[in-house]
Amino acid sequence: MADSSSEAGIIEQLRALVSDLSLMVSYKWLSRKFFISSNVAKRLLYKFVEKYGDGLEVLYSVSGWTQSQPRSYSVKVVKLSQLEGAKALLAEGSSVHIYSIQASVPRDPALVWSPDNVQAEEFFNQPLDAVNCLRDNRFSGVSCSLVKRDHKGTVSSSAPASEKASLPQGLPPKPALMKNETSIAAKASNGETSNPSGSSKQANSTRGDKGNVSAGTVKQENGEGRRDANKRKEGSATAQGSSIANLWGRPSNNSKASPPKNGSPQKQLPGNADACINALEEHENGGSSDDDISNFRRLRRGGQKRRVVLDDEVSEHKEEEAASEEKEEEEEEEVISLISPEKKIEETKHEDKASNSNSRSGDDKRMDPKKKRKVLRTRIDERGREVTEVVWDTEEPESSKIEEIEKVKAPNKTAAPPPPPPASKHPASKASTSKASTKPSSKPGKKAACGPQQGSITSFFKKK
């Protein structure tokens, strides 16, 4: 029979291993090495010892119920000389089998354990998506249908190459999302088929698990999305023109796209995970209005598109009353408010733009050489303060909120709608001032009430 001949083959190989290499071979080591079940390995060892056992020391495992109270099941590893004694202590029906064979038995139990451990560690250290005999316990005598392994939930430092290939760049978000899901499902089914003890019930529940996992992460994403709005923008900027699909698709993609930002792989993942999270969340939020998606897409696709938007801002701004600098400062936000009808997104966009422009000012400068330049301009505003601003060098003397440096030189004079005085240089307050500046009508009243104070500090508190 094929089995007995392969058994004989194994026995021969075993002989070589034990005698020539002086290895310590336990039944478990044998089973994992030659891909046979543990019970078969034990039988093989027994045959081996019968044939070639001379000169070898054998360790036996004796197990059975003890005769003493409290009732206890004892498993012992003993040498041949102790075998009978150990069996005598146990009740009827004790089981004996060979634990291991070796040239000489070491005194230290850890040395008996160590070859098995080395082998187990080899299996353990394989990449997380590899299913091996350690991970699915396939050679044991007892199988458990409850066991399901989902390596996707774990943090893996090396993303498999196949995942990257499956998601082409530049796809619009919705089809990319669906593709993502199908690739996950495909991987789930791959994982299942390779598991020999899989059953249909297992397959269904694995998919259920995936669904749960993704639902769970989506919920988490919603919560985190708001707070990480900034990170999202940063992620998009440094993706350098790659589409939302990549933000979602694979963390490793993002890691490749943004090498300067991220150091080790471990660090990459949280940031990119956030980007993915935010991309997903954004998608969900923006799903209600196509305008938003198109806006996000436009704003996402690097500086080029953004320039287009700003051009629109400029042209639209001309149509509005352009009297105050306050209007000019809030220009960007107002324009965004025109583009995106939903106010909530508008406000987050304020913050995004505010903090992003802070971080990306350098990039922007590089990216749009022809349309706009940023120059430092010093002027006196209505309240008599000298304001140094970084402005876009265009026809419109718009001012961005970036790096406004104020020097309060003269006390506040007029009650005219003053610009929101960002007395502190914190981006947070800039964000809040930008929010406040969207309501210019309310401002004059408040400012008038403030009166001839040193406007900076109190207005800082007010803006909060």
Binding site for other proteins (CB under 8 A): 3, 6-7, 9, 13, 27-28, 31, 34-40, 59, 61, 63, 66, 70-79, 82, 86, 93, 95, 97, 105-110, 112-113, 116-117, 120-121, 124, 128, 134-137, 139-151, 153-155, 197, 209
Looking at the Cβ atoms of 12 and 393, the one nearer to other proteins is 12
Looking at the Cβ atoms of 141 and 452, the one nearer to other proteins is 141
Residue 76, burial from CB neighbour count under 10 angstroms (0-12, 13-18, 19+): middle
Q: How far is the CB of 246 from other proteins (least distance, A)?
A: 26
Tokens of 130: 């590899």
Q: How far is the CB of 74 from other proteins (least distance, A)?
A: 5
Tokens of 227: 């707070």
Q: How far is the CB of 127 from other proteins (least distance, A)?
A: 12
Looking at the Cβ atoms of 21 and 35, the one nearer to other proteins is 35
Q: Residue 95 is inside which H or E element, if any? A: strand 95-102
Looking at the Cβ atoms of 209 and 403, the one nearer to other proteins is 209
Looking at the Cβ atoms of 8 and 405, the one nearer to other proteins is 8
Residue 404, burial from CB neighbour count under 10 angstroms (0-12, 13-18, 19+): buried
Looking at the Cβ atoms of 121 and 291, the one nearer to other proteins is 121
Q: How far is the CB of 320 from other proteins (least distance, A)?
A: 46
Looking at the Cβ atoms of 129 and 326, the one nearer to other proteins is 129
Phi, psi of 317 (to 5 degrees): -65, -30
Q: How far is the CB of 3 from other proteins (least distance, A)?
A: 5
Q: Residue 42 is inside which H or E element, if any? A: helix 38-52
Q: Show the beta-strand stretches assigned E in 293-404.
A: 374-380, 386-392
Quickly tell me which residue has 């265009």 as its tokens: 394
DSSP string, 358-379: HHHHHHHHHH-TTT--EEEEEE
- Residues 379 and 389: their CA atoms lie apart, in Å, by 8
- Residues 13 and 264: their CA atoms lie apart, in Å, by 44
Spatial CB neighbours of 264, under 8 Å, sequence gap ≥ 6: none
Q: How far is the CB of 188 from other proteins (least distance, A)?
A: 13
Q: How far is the CB of 139 from other proteins (least distance, A)?
A: 7
Given a contact cutoff of 8 angstroms between Cβ atoms, the answer to whether 355 and 401 are in contact is: no
Q: How far is the CB of 351 from other proteins (least distance, A)?
A: 25
Looking at the Cβ atoms of 45 and 59, the one nearer to other proteins is 59
